[in-house]
């Protein structure tokens, strides 16, 4: 089994499946779970204690994880962060230790980023405000919950977020923090917007020009907010920024099973019917007032600064931009 083609540990396969089937949801949680899977793969490696074989094995694990969801950039960014640790290794033991160390660091930094964003974001909300949020974002929830503790938020409207109803997760989390929250159908957003002071949402991907890819319906929420002169804040950790968009790579929008929208029985009664189930949409930067990151607050048009100044991405460093899955081997060169 020295060629790296061995079967993967059961825990790694379980995490990959849970990401693919959306049991693990939310860009931050997906990223942390991917880093955890890389760590588990390294610890459970049972092949030859050979550096080349181990590197090939870890690249295959990376491919498995990256292939599970096509849109959330946090997933490949987490995997690539851990995979880069193999560049420095000169022995098998060093390589395995590096993977574990980098995975732990990514997870730790991710939680710290959420804490920092909640601290920064809460201060941007005035006392006595009503907030609307869409879908489920741990980072957005933490911003809102902290603002509530500081007396800045008095009520939250949150959407159900059909068809997968992630908004109900948000509802439960906000209630756990004691936040007064009212759940509304997605279609009620424009109706309720005249009561709202701020919209706070998360992001699955932020592009280099400041456009935000997030759960389907986010762009409509932002459009309704702009019409009503309501500020829109996006809470996003830096690993949700897409380096591939620096070279014009488009963010691939995921489409899921029509049975998430309508029942199998309904489909069988209407043979040939087409049902579209896009998971994400793109909110243009002109509909966003600010992106809140662990590095501070920036206008969406300054997103490129996070990629270049803070994360160190350059056009020359994006060697794998054409196809991540086909070029993951180059990350460890």
Annotation marks residue 309 as catalytic: no
3-state secondary structure of 159: strand
Domain layout of the chain by residue ranges:
10-115+319-332, 121-310
Q: Do domains 10-115+319-332 and 121-310 have the same CATH topology?
A: no
Q: Is the pLDDT of residue 185 over 90?
A: yes
Residue from 3, 135, 257, 316 carrying the catalytic annotation = 135
The residue among 71, 67, 72, 9 whose CA lies nearest residue 37 is 9
Residue range 79-103: average pLDDT? 94
Judge whether 114 and 194 are in contact, CB under 8 Å: no
3-state secondary structure of 43: helix
Structure tokens at 242: 């897409």
State pLDDT tens for residues 124-181.
999 999 999 999 999 999 999 999 999 999 999 999 999 999 999 999 999 999 999 9
The dotted CATH code for 121-310 is: 3.40.50.10470
Annotation marks residue 135 as catalytic: yes
Q: How many CB atoms are located within 10 Å of the residue 322 CB?
A: 11
**What is the value of pTM for the model shown?**
0.87
Q: Is the pLDDT of residue 294 over 80?
A: yes
Q: How far apart are CA 41 and CA 288, in angstroms?
A: 39
Residue from 44, 50, 204, 309 carrying the catalytic annotation = 204
Structure tokens at 18: 């849970």
Judge whether 276 and 208 are in contact, CB under 8 Å: no
Q: How far apart are CA 291 and CA 9, in angstroms?
A: 38
Give the DSSP letter of residue 209. T
Residue range 309-331: average pLDDT? 60
* CATH of 10-115+319-332 given 3.30.465.10, 1.10.3720.10, 1.20.120.420, 1.10.3470.10: 1.20.120.420
């Amino acid at each position: 089994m020295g060629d790296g083609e061995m079967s993967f540990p059961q825990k790694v396969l379980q995490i990959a499946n849970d990401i693919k089937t959306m049991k693990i949801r939310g860009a931050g949680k997906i990223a942390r779970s991917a880093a955890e899977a890389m760590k588990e793969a390294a610890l459970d490696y049972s092949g030859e204690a050979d550096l080349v074989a181990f590197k090939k094995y870890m690249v295959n694990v990376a491919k498995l994880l990256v292939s599970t969801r096509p849109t959330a950039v946090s997933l490949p960014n987490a995997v690539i962060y851990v995979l880069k640790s193999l560049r420095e290794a000169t022995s098998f033991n060093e390589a395995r230790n590096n993977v574990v160390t980098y995975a732990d660091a990514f997870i730790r930094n991710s939680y710290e980023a959420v804490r920092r964003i909640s601290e920064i974001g809460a201060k941007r909300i005035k006392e006595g405000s009503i907030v609307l949020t869409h879908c489920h974002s741990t980072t957005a929830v933490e911003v809102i919950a902290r603002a509530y503790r500081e007396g800045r938020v008095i009520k939250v409207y949150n959407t159900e977020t059909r068809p997968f109803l992630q908004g109900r997760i948000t509802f439960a989390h906000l209630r756990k923090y004691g936040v007064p929250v009212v759940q509304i159908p997605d279609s009620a957003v424009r109706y309720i917007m005249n009561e709202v002071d701020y919209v706070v949402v998360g992001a699955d991907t932020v592009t280099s020009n400041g456009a935000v890819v997030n759960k389907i319906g986010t762009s409509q929420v932002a459009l309704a907010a702009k019409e009503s002169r309501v500020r829109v804040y996006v809470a996003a950790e830096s690993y949700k920024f897409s380096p591939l968009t620096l070279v014009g790579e488009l963010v691939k929008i995921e489409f899921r099973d029509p049975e998430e929208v309508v029942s199998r029985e309904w489909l069988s009664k209407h043979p040939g019917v087409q049902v579209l189930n896009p998971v994400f949409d793109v909110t243009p930067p002109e509909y966003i007032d600010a992106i809140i990151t662990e590095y501070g607050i920036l206008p969406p048009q300054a997103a490129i600064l996070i990629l270049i100044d803070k994360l160190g991405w350059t056009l020359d460093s994006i060697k794998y931009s054409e196809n991540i899955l086909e070029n993951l081997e180059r990350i460890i060169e």
